Amino acid sequence: LINYFFALVKRKEKLNEKLENIREDSEEKPFEIDTPYLSKADKELLRCVGVNSFCMIRFLRFGFDVTFYFSLVSLVVLLPLYISGNTEEGISGNRFDYFTLTINNLRRGSPKLWGPWAFAILFYSYVLRRLSFEWLIFHHARLEFLANGDFDAAQNDDLESIHQFRNTCFVQQIPPVHRSDKDLYEFFESLFPGQIVRAEVLLNAKLLTNIINERQ
């Protein structure tokens, strides 16, 4: 928790400077997501569904891209290569069984082993490159969300609400000794003197609500 707030304070000035440039004419210009590496269609999708749903869609797309296309390549390249090991007196010999379709069908030292090796290098290079690319997209989209909120907030809320959104943190699992507005404020004020405007504790009244419903 403390590390999170320290990181937040360090980024505060940088984010606010960036936001002033992005939102200088926010009342006149439409809200645009300043996220690089995305096509126009992806930016529109991100604007419509939000960061969480967009990241889930990107994850599903990532899983499809790294499995489907390479599976087709393996069917065209690797399987015929493994089956051809029968001519080299591999494990299967002249039979056709399960091992005929695996790398075990290639004899040790066969030059055909370079095929699976090259395929593995290509596959893992692509996966690592895509992971790096997806991380950059998530990083920029998340920062933009933390700074500006969602599309509805940018269009409908007043400037004061947007300012509060940019500078508000939600804290959970508060120790019992700090479960009051005053104690919570004093705790964070001691960590960040002069940087805390206010602190409010929202009580979970679900148990009380259930008891009242039972009595009624």
For the ranges 23-37, 132-146, 156-170, 189-203, the lowest mean pLDDT is seen at 23-37
**9-47 per-position pLDDT tens digit:** 454 555 455 445 544 444 444 344 456 678 888 888 887
Most confident range (mean pLDDT) of 9-13, 66-70, 209-213 is 66-70
For the ranges 26-30, 35-39, 106-110, 172-176, the lowest mean pLDDT is seen at 26-30
pLDDT in the model for residue 19: 47
Over 90: is that where the pLDDT of 91 sits?
Answer: no
For the ranges 87-96, 114-123, 202-211, the lowest mean pLDDT is seen at 87-96
Q: What is the mean pLDDT of residues 45-57?
A: 84
pTM for the whole structure = 0.54
Which H or E run contains 158?
none
Q: pLDDT confidence of 121, banded at 50, 70, 90?
A: very high
Over 50: is that where the pLDDT of 3 sits?
Answer: no
CA distance 152 to 100: 58
Q: pLDDT confidence of 6, banded at 50, 70, 90?
A: very low
Cα atoms in the 13 Å half-sphere on the side-chain side of 107: 9
Most confident range (mean pLDDT) of 74-83, 99-108, 202-211 is 74-83
Q: What is the mean pLDDT of residues 60-66?
A: 92
CA distance 124 to 119: 9
